């Protein structure tokens, strides 16, 4: 796995657009809704920016060349960034671990964990690379 430091990471411009959209959603809705409300609002906001967004996108887990199962991500943006949403008071490390597993299983480079459950959006960016 390659370690990215500072401002160097894949899909930087796209993740910044997603984060900007998340703040716009939080500014309009505030906290207190269930995750699905934020998922729908963020998808709408991203689409209004001209981005391709798939909600509850099913991705396969490949092992030894065969599919051994699948999982759903909250949002897949531009077929390259996984976005997982939460609406909780306290972010657990297991949420970050889950996102990293999703990236590894899907071989996608970047994921964002966005929490709408507080006074401001909490953001965790995770990068995965086999290098």
Can you spell out the DSSP letters for 50-86? T--EEEEEEEEEEETTEEEEEEEEEEEETTTEEEEEE
- Structure tokens belonging to residue 22: 């998340």
Q: Give the model confidence (pLDDT) of 23-78 as tens digits.
A: 999 999 999 999 999 999 999 999 999 999 999 999 988 888 899 999 999 999 99
Output the pLDDT for position 4: 46
CATH of the domain at 16: 3.90.320.10
- Residue 4 belongs to some domain of the structure: no
Domain count, the chain: 1
Q: Which domain holds residue 106?
A: 12-127
Percent of the chain with pLDDT over 70: 92
- Structure tokens belonging to residue 74: 């909250």
- Residue 107 belongs to some domain of the structure: yes
Q: Confidence band (pLDDT; 50, 70, 90) for 1?
A: very low
Judge contact between 89 and 43, C-beta under 8 A: no
Q: What is the pTM of this model?
A: 0.89
How, if at all, do strands 81-86 and 110-115 pair?
Answer: parallel
Section 112-126 average pLDDT? 94
Judge contact between 96 and 126, C-beta under 8 A: yes
- Residue 39 belongs to some domain of the structure: yes
Ramachandran angles phi, psi of 76, nearest 5°: -120, 120
Percent of the chain with pLDDT over 90: 77
- Structure tokens belonging to residue 69: 């199962």
Q: Confidence band (pLDDT; 50, 70, 90) for 7?
A: low
More confident residue, 2 or 114: 114
């Amino acid at each position: 796995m390659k370690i990215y430091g500072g401002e160097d990471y894949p899909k930087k411009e796209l993740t910044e657009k997603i984060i900007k959209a998340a703040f716009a959603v939080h500014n309009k809705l505030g906290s207190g809704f269930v995750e699905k409300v934020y998922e729908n609002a963020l998808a709408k906001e991203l689409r209004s920016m001209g981005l391709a967004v798939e909600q509850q996108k099913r991705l396969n887990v490949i092992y030894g060349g065969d599919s051994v199962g699948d999982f759903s991500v909250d949002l897949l943006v531009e077929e390259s960034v996984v976005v997982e949403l939460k609406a909780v008071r306290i972010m657990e490390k297991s949420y970050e671990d889950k996102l990293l597993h999703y990236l590894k299983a899907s071989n996608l480079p970047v994921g964002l964990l966005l929490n709408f459950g507080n006074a401001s959006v909490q953001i965790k960016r995770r990068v995965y690379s086999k290098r």
